[in-house]
A and B are shown apart, each in its own frame.
Chain A
Amino acid sequence: MARYVLKRLVLLPVLLFLFSVTVFAIVQAPPGDFLTTYVATLASSGSSISAEQIEALRREYGLDRPIWVQYIRWMQNVLTGNLGLSLEYQRPNAELIGERLVLTVVLALFAFAITWIVAIPAGIYSAMHPRSALDYLLTVLNYIGVATPNFMLALVLMWGAFAYFGLSITGLFSPDYVEAPWSAARGVDLLKHVWLPAVVLGVAGTARLTRVMRANLLDELNKPYVTTARAKGLPEWRLVLRYPARLALNPLVSTIGWYLPLLFSGSLIVATVMNLPNIGPLLLRALINQDMYLAGSILLIYCFLTILGTLISDILLAWLDPRIRLDEG
């Protein structure tokens, strides 16, 4: 087990290196750099900047060097924990990202928890009562859940709350707590607001997971060991939870590997629509303004979260299912 985990950990830096090159190439790609955008914005707002000042800025940010030098400089800084200065906000990127990163992870974990808490019982019920009215209802809901883009769901909810209750359900905090330092009260306030975006984010995954759980459990319920247990006189619900449900859960653990990363990157869209203080909207702005070091840092964080999600699921799976450990040695 330890060896398996170690092997995966060794691969981590290699992957991150490849991703950092990819990310840098992508943020570098647009024609022009941040300064051209910056000068254009200044010009449109009426103020101007001298050519020497632009040159000085360009030198300061290293934009006059060859691309590979810029990459190495960026990497050196990232590795020492310095994510650089946002060209647009004129503040350290680490400071901009900091709290937003925590909120991104909190939101994704909440969505993940909601998904599992809803999908597993719903899937078990559906499999135990196939073709019942509730099973059909769940199936219909699942199809619609998978088909609805989450920004659409967010829009409809926001519209409903606004038009019928006069509520604004954007953001993650009440106005009093937006700028407040962390405290117990602020945490409670976060809990009051986080569940709605988490539901929006988790709907598609819940629908998919319910279907998989139902199918897996239905396969298991036909097996002889279930009949045996039933013949012994075990109550039905205890029987199901004790043996087949646990077996049916096993393949689901392997889906965590793609589901968690999906939540991290999916929260970008939900956060933009619902105006959540998350790294998603920050990335969007940085991309549009060509704030390349900020965009690069955020993209790298997304890559890291994705790898981390996959790693967690691989380790969980290896821990649950010894066959996988033996295969990969």
Chain B
Amino acid sequence: MTAGPPVVAPETAEDRVSVASNWRLVWWRFRKHRLALLSAFVLLALYGVVLFPDFVSTQDPEATDARLAFIPVQRLHLFDGARLSPWVPAVAGKRNPTTLRMEWGVDGSRKTPVRFFVTGYSYRLLGIVPAHLHLLGTAAPDGRERLYLLGTDRLGRDQWSRLVHGTRTSMTIGLAAVTFSVVLGVMLGGISGYFGGVADVVIQRLIELLQSLPTIPIWLALSAALPRDWSPQQVFLAITVILSLVGWTTLGREVRGRFLALREEDFVLAAELAGASRRRIIVRHMVPTFLSHIIATSTLAIPAMIISETSLSFLGLGIRPPAISWGVLLQEAQNIQTVALAPWLLVPGLIVILSVLAFNLVGDGLRDAADPYSQ
């Protein structure tokens, strides 16, 4: 928004509303949805994890040790008596005499103290700065004291740290795929709505064609077509593109509708008469009128992307190990006998539900807040 002429400090609440910018009004209305606000904090926390996954991890997510397989969840207790001193019950392993496998249980009588800001495995902060500081850890890093907040999987990898790294991939892929969809949708929808004619017909038919494709089978076939020897980064990018291929169509339609309606508006005519270029009319006058709406719609599109990525990876055709995503983690839970033995393998699924729920609530809140006609 342009900075208007300086206004005198508003006196009453009503005055404040009448001079507030559009974004301020949206924020005020959004603030009133308690659940949406709470969900927004959940999402902020999750994206915090996305930025600093290694800091939040307690162990190297790739470190395997078959002897440490299927260690159960050690519940984190914040208080020891009345004192703030976090601890977890210690784990104890016994070798099963018949199967010769280690069987782990929680020993409630012994406490393993948990410290904040401990030194652990080394990593690169944001991929650049070498660091070895971690949020949580045990006092004795030499392995005598163990800390598995969400247990371990069949290879003895720490599930908490893997979940944190999976969060990075899955949350990023949702955001990336939607961003890509928005760019495609606004561009093609804009061309279709603003210029009309042949371009409009071609783009509309393309949208119809893409929308009548059976999405999941086609996604699977496309992911299966990705070469096996691609690096995780290439696969990540390809999956993003595959997901956006269909994702942009809904948005493209909406943007086209808005452009068609706005083209007839007086302020567009005024801008044309004032000699503004097409580019300026679109970017400066038309897009801001429906930007808040686009943001709300794309927030509501992210959960579908996350569920799609998780499902693809779960079926083994999305993100591939050694890269970690929520779907890759849930692959470990494919065998019901294993899940019965180690129910904590289902925890990544709970995080999927939590994040999708949060995105939906924030999206609903934004949509209501961005609608100028709502109460």
Q: Is the CB of A149 within 8 A of B212?
A: no
Main secondary structure of the interface of A (DSSP, over half): helix
Whether B216 lies near A288 (C-beta < 8 A) is: no
- Chain B CB within 8 A of A43 CB: no
Does A226 interact with chain B (Cβ within 8 Å)? Answer: no
On whether A287 and B221 interact (CB within 8 A), knowing A144-B357, A151-B311, A269-B311, the answer reads yes
**A31 in the interface, Cβ–Cβ < 8 Å?**
yes
State A18–B361 Cα separation when bound (angstroms).
Answer: 38
Judge whether A272 and B315 touch: CB under 8 Å.
yes
Binds A, one of B133-141, B145-153, B158-166, B333-341: B333-341
Assuming the contacts A147-B303, A147-B360, A265-B215, asked whether A295 and B221 have C-beta atoms less than 8 A apart, the reply is yes
Interface size counted on chain A using CB atoms at 8 A = 47
A288 to B223 Cα, complex, angstroms: 10
A147/B214 in contact, CB under 8 A: no
What residues on B are CB-neighbors of A299 within 8 Å?
A: 214, 217-218, 221
* Cβ B224 vs Cβ A30 within 8 A: yes
CB of B352 within 8 A of CB of A303, answer: no
- B349: shortest Cβ distance to chain A, in Å? 4
Interface size on B, residues (CB 8 A): 40
The closest CB in chain B to the CB of A267 belongs to B216
A26 neighbours in B (Cβ, 8 Å): 218, 221-222, 225
Which among B217, B334, B349 has the greatest number of chain A C-beta atoms within 10 A? B217
Tell yes or no: A310 within 8 A of B by CB. Answer: yes
- Whether the Cβ atoms of B315 and A269 lie closer than 8 Å is yes
CA distance A261 to B314 in the complex (A): 21
Give the shortest distance, in Å, between B91 (CB) and chain A (any CB).
21
Q: Which residues of A contact B330 (CB under 8 A)?
A: 151-152, 155
In the complex, A303→B211 CA distance in Å?
Answer: 11
> CA separation between A21 and B339, bound complex, in Å?
42
Instruction: Select A30's contact among B211, B227, B346, B357, beta carbons within 8 Å.
Output: B227
| A152 and B353 within 8 A (CB) | yes
Chosen A-B contacts, 20 in total, with CB atoms closer than 8 Å, are A23-B221, A26-B225, A30-B227, A31-B227, A144-B357, A146-B360, A147-B360, A148-B353, A148-B356, A149-B307, A156-B346, A158-B336, A163-B340, A269-B314, A283-B217, A298-B217, A299-B217, A299-B221, A302-B214, A306-B213
Shortest beta-carbon contacts, A-B, top 8: A287-B224, A29-B225, A147-B356, A302-B214, A265-B216, A265-B214, A152-B349, A147-B357
